[in-house]
A = this chain, B = another copy of it.
């Protein structure tokens, strides 16, 4: 159904999920970003306003993740569409947090633009457009944030060229705690630390075993196995060094019964998984205390199941 105006919510995401660097991510219920879009007689895609970002993001459709994604999608439209599109971005996802902030904006931008087309484009196209938005924001066109933000649930990127996504099952009874300490890690900078690095085979083998077991655990609904499998030997050690109190936070989550705790995306946010809401909430509290005690950092936390719903219109 073609609309003249739409408001889309796109969820923040946890990417990497331990051993799945650049290939695995899942969607949260909160936080997330909103994009309002309306048809316009003026040709092209305009970004009128960005709120909730403290003025940090460009209000320019050619440089903002949401605008770039919407522009690319708009260009690919087949069939009828309005001459132009005017959009407003409302940030709910903290910037440079490791929670897929630019990914959520890009997903919301692509999805909002798609809602105004007579012939909406398929998910893979939305992901490709949102990856362009991601690249504009952080210099790298990875898909492990935008894909779960658009599709919901847990998404595997089997291949980037060609782009192929595999939706993985979300086990019942799985709860996630996400804690965002009030400091920033730029995704671009975090990725620059990895550029050109080479990794030894024993660590690659250890990661491969965990990643394969993680997927098996999702299909089996085996949360203990999932917990053991969320352990990364390749990228996380590099990123841990950029996150104050990393060790203490991880220990705190596990001491509260979390099945695993790891860096979300490029950090500084960290996430824990648990087999009950109470355990996830207790882990979140313990992780917040550890950021406070170990690094004098205030933090926010979100606790809940993985969201099976991706970017979608809201009222």
A23 at interface by CB-CB < 8 Å: yes
Q: Which of B160, B204, B216, B229 contacts A168 (CB 8 A)?
A: B216
How many A residues face the partner with a CB closer than 8 A?
40
Binds B, one of A151-159, A182-190, A270-278: A151-159
The reply to whether A208 and B205 contact each other, CB–CB distance below 8 Å, is no
Q: Which of B200, B204, B215, B225 contacts A212 (CB 8 A)?
A: B215
Q: Which of B199, B212, B225 contacts A20 (CB 8 A)?
A: B212
How many Å from the CB of A158 to the closest CB on chain B? 4
The reply to whether A156 and B234 contact each other, CB–CB distance below 8 Å, is no
Q: Which residues of B contact A211 (CB under 8 A)?
A: 208, 211-212
- Chain copies in complex: 2
Q: Which of B156, B200, B210 contacts A158 (CB 8 A)?
A: B210
Q: How far is the CA of A197 from the CA of B235 in the complex (A)?
A: 18
Q: How far is the CA of A242 from the CA of B42 in the complex (A)?
A: 62
Q: Which residues of B contact A194 (CB under 8 A)?
A: 201
Can you list the 9 inter-chain pairs with the closest CB atoms, starting with the nearest? A198-B198, A158-B213, A219-B219, A215-B215, A23-B209, A22-B205, A158-B209, A212-B215, A23-B208
